[in-house]
Chain A
């Protein structure tokens, strides 16, 4: 039972354009959402998060949007840079011991 889904396994975007990564969830008890970035053979690094009481959070080039009624969140990267090429995971907090449920990831390729 995949409670956090990233339906696009890969995405290719030109440098300078906007990258939009999507994530859907099924558990209405999730109350905090996070995005992580992962390079091959490395651990994920935290990017940005959003509480369920908000619908938008912005940090530099990264903005996360949350639509609770649709159980959907998205990560916008503007402008996209070649160094953004990585696998992006969304994760949802379940309220116990800061446990996170991760999606399967979307591989972003930013081309020149």
Chain B
């Protein structure tokens, strides 16, 4: 069966510090991968998605970047965090091609102070 891991679960960072959140998927090959953010009281906003190694599409302009160095690894980064980067970050995967539901990881609660 497939599983998705995210770490860390919670993170408190000062403004201006760097960020690296990691997501890995097990039990599947060549998945589509996604990063979402849920701000307080808001819905899920798609930040990035990837259909293959090294292929990243950005959905919204922002202070963040994403990378996919391996087939089942997706990383969300920032060089300098802003207060507005606080939120709940979720990684998800889906089978590539067709109409497929996405499966979400447990999320990372990021607080920027």
Which of B42, B98, B104, B109 lies in contact with A104, CB distance below 8 A? B42
Q: Are A102 and B49 in contact (CB-based, < 8 A)?
A: no
Alpha-carbon distance between A36 and B103 when the two chains are bound, in angstroms: 10
Smallest CB separation, A43 vs chain B (Å): 3
Known A32-B99, A102-B43; judge A41-B49 contact (CB<8 A).
no
Alpha-carbon distance between A101 and B49 when the two chains are bound, in angstroms: 12
Q: A34 an interface residue at 8 Å Cβ cutoff?
A: yes
Smallest CB separation, A75 vs chain B (Å): 15
Which of A12-20, A58-66, A92-100 is found at the contact surface with chain B?
Answer: A92-100
**In the complex, chain A residues whose CB is within 8 Å of the CB of B109:** 41
* Residue picked from A32, A89, A100, A101, most chain B C-beta under 10 Å: A100
Q: Are A99 and B43 in contact (CB-based, < 8 A)?
A: no
Q: A45 an interface residue at 8 Å Cβ cutoff?
A: yes
**In the complex, chain B residues whose CB is within 8 Å of the CB of A101:** 46
The size bracket of the interface on B is 20 to 34
Which of A32, A43, A46, A97 lies in contact with B90, CB distance below 8 A? A43
Q: Are B99 and A43 in contact (CB-based, < 8 A)?
A: no
Known A43-B92, A45-B104, A97-B32; judge A31-B44 contact (CB<8 A).
no
Q: Are B49 and A43 in contact (CB-based, < 8 A)?
A: no
Q: A85 an interface residue at 8 Å Cβ cutoff?
A: no
Q: Are B43 and A104 in contact (CB-based, < 8 A)?
A: yes
Q: B57 an interface residue at 8 Å Cβ cutoff?
A: yes
**In the complex, chain B residues whose CB is within 8 Å of the CB of A91:** 44
Binding site for B on A (CB under 8 A): 6, 31-32, 34, 36, 41-46, 49, 51, 89, 91, 93, 97-105
Binding site for A on B (CB under 8 A): 32, 34, 36, 42-46, 49, 51, 57, 88, 90, 92, 94-96, 98-107, 109
The 9 closest A-B pairs by CB, nearest first: A43-B104, A104-B43, A102-B44, A32-B99, A46-B101, A98-B94, A102-B43, A98-B100, A97-B51
